[in-house]
Structure 1
Amino acid sequence: MGCRPMFLLDAGEAKELIPLKILFIVHNYCYSLVAYLPIFFEESNFTKSEIGILLAIPCICTIIGPPMWGAIADALHRHKQVHVFCHITSALFIFAIQFVNSFPLMCVTVFAAYCQMVPTLALLDLAAMKLTGRHGGDFGKQRVYGAFGYGVGGYISGMMASAVGIKWCFTMMLGVSCISLALLVLYIPAGYGDDNDQPPQKGLLRSSVKHIMRRPDVLVLFVVAL
């Protein structure tokens, strides 16, 4: 059996999923910069306690951001449009971090950046599940490409930070995010969050909450996560 160079791009799946794989690579490459934000905060002369607060903000955003934007996307039935909006605003907020000097304003900027960034990951996963189901692909393979992009992006960001300074990484991130935006707009179809083949299930959230409240082990796990 001969070697197929295209296997690196399609992983043996439908060619319609190649743009999705590339989007996972570029998207995760783009946001690998956030791993080096503690270095930037230290270079900006923030105290250790202030850096600790800044690093705790993303945890709060992880709880707030995805449910909020997910509910908005579900209500409007505009998942792709919400995805594009969150992608653009998160890239701009992260790029703006380098220009912030005061601690209170930095907290606001980091909060806004992560509240917009974290939902893009969830919405990308939603698009991947819908498209892989449509074209007979595996969701896990798409995530593998994302992990590859994050690893390569983290390595290059680290090299740039040590060679020319971490501020240049913000410019690189903004440029790569434009590529990710182009892939999202051009190759990801709209309406990937709509389940037209399934009737709306009223009261599903309420019944789910009641079921969870009757599970002490799940409640303890939720409290620990918070």
Structure 2
Amino acid sequence: MEVSLKQTNGQQESKTNLTISIFYFFFFFGLGSFTPLLSVYLNEMGLSGTQIGTVMSITPIVMIIAQPMWGMITDYTQKPRLVLTGTLITAAVIGLIYSSVNTFSILIFIAAMLSFFQSAVIPISDSLTISYVQRVKGNYGALRLWGAIGFAIAVLFSGRLSEIVSLSVIFYIFSITLFITAIIAWKMPNERSSAQVDLKKGVTTLFRMPRFVLFLLTTFMIFGPIAANNVYFGIFITDMGGTLTGVGIAFLLSAGSEAPFMKVAGNWIQRLGMLHILLIAGIISCLRWAFYFVEPSLMLVYATTIAQGVSVGLFIPAALQYVRDISPNSVRATAVSLYAAIGNGLGSWFCTYVGGVILETSGILNVYLFFTSLTLIGILTLFIIRYLDQKKKEVKNVA
């Protein structure tokens, strides 16, 4: 009887793991078919660099406002799967409308609406997945890496299809994929998360911690350019003479390289320490942006895309763990929310918007010079944090 129960639980766990993996694959397939090529589509529409930067920078700003709102809606309804499914279907419908818009002011509105509903997907699905893996003692990274694989395959697929049909096909791939994801979402584990985010209580405490404030600045400076690169990398490739298929290949290599580094990140963090991993990720990002500024050959650009695997695959888990480790237990959830909103959200918006202005006035190469400068500041900030960490350890040892 006990053996039979274990077998049943094991089968159910395997089925749930497969459902979650497929969910991440399809959702990120949708994003991969859409986000990297959207800037190229807007460029071909005749929008200026500033206008492209404005449209593309809406998402992180809307996310800062919308994500806490979706969290409250999910907590109030206690129906995360229903909210997740509904937002996916709505985002899919808006994606279809997006394809027919050709007026800048309406583009801004549609982009904001899409971002509002799309911003609910990752927090809710991650919350369900993390609650599930904690309950069954599973591996979050092993499930989440299917998102990176889906994203990588999608850019190559949609890039090639765009050359055969037209760039507008990205909207249809995006919407169809999100409809499929909505069906899968209804089969996600219906977990409940007990973690509550109390921003009022935690903000004062956290902003009195120099290391936390400096780390927000670090994330802003290092991860902002990484996020903005997803917007401008397609324009960079096409300006260098690459094709839309070439854009797909570049993203396949860069996004695809994230998965193996995500898988080994935990072991590397234990061996070298979080700050050393963050420094490695930051330095490799900085060297990558500087290399693009000197206008290398396309073959060398493709060859160096694996740098994204190191910078993203290592930076994200190390940064999240560092934020949790330096924050008091009572405000840990608040710390993670602030890290996502200020470090990632504002950093992504700033780099995307300013990158668009630079693209219009100085060209794509200077966008990467801008990324290099910001990342260098982030690396220097990390050295300051490392110094503060060492001083704190010395004080503890003396005590």
Aligned-partner residue type, residue 29 of structure 2: Y
Residue 204 of structure 2 corresponds to residue 214 of structure 1: no
Which one is further off, 208-217 or 160-169?
208-217
Post-superposition offset of 1:92: 1.6
- 1:47 maps to 48
How many Å apart are 1:94 and its aligned residue?
Answer: 2.1
Q: Any idea what the Cα deviations from partners look like across 1:151-200, whole Å, max 9, x if unmatched?
A: 11111111111221111222222222221111111x2133x2343xx8xx
Which residue of the partner structure matches residue 189 of structure 1? 189
Partner of 1:6: none
Q: Give the match for residue 66 of structure 1.
A: 67
For residue 24 of structure 2, what is the aligned residue in structure 1?
Answer: 24
Give CA deviations for 1:42-99 in whole Å, capped at 9, x if unaligned: 1222222211211211221231221221122122222222211211111222221111
Preserved contact between residue 37 and residue 159 of structure 2 (Cα < 8 Å) = yes
Counterpart residue number, 2:82: 81
1:138 Cα deviation (Å)? 0.4
Cα distance in 2, alignment partners of residues 20 and 65 from structure 1: 24
Deviation of residue 213 (structure 1)? 2.6
Match of 1:7 in 2: none
- Unmatched tracts of structure 2, length 5 or more: 1-9, 221-342, 347-399
CA distance in structure 1 between the partners assigned to 2:206 and 2:165 by the alignment:
51
Q: CA deviation at 1:150?
A: 0.8
Does the 8 Å CA contact 1:30/1:173 hold for their aligned counterparts? yes
Given residue 17 of structure 1, which amino acid in structure 2 is its aligned partner? N
Whether the 8 Å contact between 2:206 and 2:212 is mirrored in structure 1 is yes
Rounded to whole Å, the distance in 2 between the matches of 1:16 and 1:220 is 39
What is the count of residue pairs matched by the alignment? Answer: 208
1:81-160 matched pairs, under 5 angstroms:
81-160=82-161
Match of 1:5 in 2: none
Report if the CA contact (8 A) 1:77-1:194 is conserved: no
Gaps of at least 5 residues in structure 1 are 1-9
Deviation at 1:206, TM superposition (A): 3.0
Aligned in 2, Cα 1:104/1:181: closer, same or farther, shift over 3 Å? Answer: same
TM-score computed with the length of structure 2 as normaliser? 0.49
Cα distance in 2 between the residues matched to 1:220 and 1:133: 30
1:109, distance to aligned residue in structure 2 (A):
0.5
Q: 1:189 corresponds to which letter in structure 2?
A: P
Supply the distance in 1 between the matched residues of 2:207 and 2:173 (Cα, whole angstroms).
46
> Taking structure 1 as the reference length, what is the TM-score of the superposition?
0.83
Tell me the secondary structure at the aligned position of residue 99 of structure 1. Answer: coil
* Amino acid in structure 2 at the alignment position of 1:207: K
Query: Which position in structure 1 is the counterpart of 2:169?
Result: 168
Please identify which structure carries the higher helix content: 2
